[in-house]
Amino acid sequence: MDSNRLQQLLTQYFENTITREDCEELLAYLDDGDPEGVSGAIDRAFQKRSFAALRFDPERKDTIYNQLIAEIRQRQAVSSQQLPAHKFSIAPWLKVAALLIAAVTVGFLLYQATGTGFGVSPEVSENKNEITLPEHNEATLTLADGSTILLNDSSGGVLARELGVEIRKDADGSIFYEARGGDVVEAALKYNTFSTPKGSTYRILLPDGTKVWMNTASSIRYPVMFTGAERSISLIGEAYFEVAPDASKPFKVEANGSVIQVLGTHFNVSAYADEQQTTTTLLEGAVNVSNSGNMVTLKPNQQAVVDILTGAIRQSAANVRSAVAWKDGYFRFDDESIEEIIDKVSRWYDIEAVEYRGEFNERFSGTFQRSKNVSQLFSNLEKLAPIQFEIKERRVVIMR
């Protein structure tokens, strides 16, 4: 597809004049074409007279481009995975468009429908009937003696010393452990606990060099030093791991009664206490997942779902994009009910209660960038189905 054609299709989409056939052509190009080729076409599309009334600032234009490219690259990386059938209650051509743009929060995050075109969505005002994320990521480090460090309150540099190991905060805010040579003391294991509250993610470098990205409302417990024949930690919530290879010391994650064992690999574990299953998704390498005498070995792009009550393990192909979307700042929904979506969203935003008025049979697929205000996400969903959200002092009402 030449650049003029790409520009034409993008313009038609944003102006809401694209046909189903043309929208499918655009989606096919974004799946298989050169991601960098999108940049110039978007620039030229926004320079067209028809976009003058939208008053895009450079930051929003860059956001659109970056999110489009991110989605394209995710699709290319997991080209063998097919999204579930979409069941949005909208016109057939818009189903395709929703996968293209709503999946990366462009059309439904930045615009609202206004007749035959799109206008800029008004900024959401701050008021008591809004639920927002914290301004900065937060985390708590609990040391072996029970003392705690609130990372937002601490400056960079050395946070603490235990067993001759220095716990430091890097310039980018991440936490890492550094052994100080001969100062390291061989002693009984001492454990630290690293926790994130609702609405925050954080990255930590474990004493062995393993990188861990912590999702919202999660915690890990690990020794200040890894001694003995294995490296064992425990997880509540969700985390993404890039394990430092060490053939002599297998790395183990204990989560809700399951054990995930690896030597060196990249994988995601979701093990929230309020869920009935623990899900391990493998991106690279190999892992063994075991529970109650059952065990499976995962290959890349596979997933193991453990039933917490029975210990049964279901192994299947994984939707990797969905599993790790949180790490890149997105909500990703794959053929999910409104109840399932609200459960995910409530882990991020401080929603105290949810009331459903009516029956809701719609199922949603798509990717939405996390935004400061939950009302922006709700506004996106309202455009996909005949539902309405209302926020009343941290209580959410969902209506037909």
Q: Higher confidence at residue 134 or residue 110? A: 134
**The pLDDT of residue 35:** 47
The pLDDT of residue 96 is above 80: no
For range 303-310, the mean pLDDT: 96
CB contact at 8 A, 137 and 202: yes
Handedness of CA 317, 320, 324, 326 (dihedral sign): negative
CB contact at 8 A, 394 and 354: no
**The pLDDT of residue 133:** 87
Q: β-pairing, 148-150 with 277-284?
A: unpaired
DSSP string, 130-160: --B--SS---EEE-TTS-EEEGGGSPSEEEE
Q: β-pairing, 140-142 with 191-196?
A: antiparallel
For range 151-166, the mean pLDDT: 80
Return d(Cα 120, Cα 106) in angstroms, integer: 11
Provide the CB-side half-sphere exposure for 27 (13 A, CA).
19
Q: Higher confidence at residue 124 or residue 350? A: 350
Which residues are CB-contacts of 190 (< 8 A; sequence separation ≥ 6)?
Answer: 144, 162, 163, 223, 224, 225
User: Could you report the per-residue pLDDT of 329-345, keeping only the tens digit for each?
Assistant: 888 888 889 999 999 99
The pLDDT of residue 286 is above 90: yes
The pLDDT of residue 65 is above 80: no
**The pLDDT of residue 114:** 27
Using a CB cutoff of 8 Å and minimum separation of 24, what contacts does 113-118 make?
A: 113/16, 113/383, 116/15, 116/16, 116/17, 117/15, 117/16, 117/50, 118/14, 118/15, 118/16, 118/54
Tokens of 384: 């996909």
Smallest CA-to-CA distance from 316 within 285, 289, 291 is with 289
Return d(Cα 99, Cα 105) in angstroms, integer: 10
**The pLDDT of residue 37:** 54
The pLDDT of residue 110 is above 60: no
**The pLDDT of residue 5:** 80
Unique residue bearing structure tokens 């235990």: 162
* pTM (2 d.p.): 0.69
How confident is residue 80, by pLDDT bands cut at 50, 70 and 90?
Answer: very low
The pLDDT of residue 391 is above 70: yes
For range 133-137, the mean pLDDT: 84
**The pLDDT of residue 339:** 93
Return d(Cα 93, Cα 89) in angstroms, integer: 11
Q: Higher confidence at residue 275 or residue 77? A: 275
For the chain, the average pLDDT equals 77
User: Could you report the per-residue pLDDT of 6-42, keeping only the tens digit for each?
Assistant: 777 777 766 657 776 777 677 667 655 554 455 455 5
Return d(Cα 259, Cα 288) in angstroms, integer: 8
Return d(Cα 298, Cα 183) in angstroms, integer: 40
For a pLDDT cut of 90, what percent of the chain falls above it? 41
**The pLDDT of residue 91:** 34
Smallest CA-to-CA distance from 81 within 240, 337, 301, 298 is with 301
CB contact at 8 A, 188 and 154: no
Q: β-pairing, 175-179 with 202-205?
A: parallel
User: Could you report the per-residue pLDDT of 200-244, keeping only the tens digit for each?
Assistant: 999 999 999 999 999 999 999 999 989 889 999 999 999 999 999
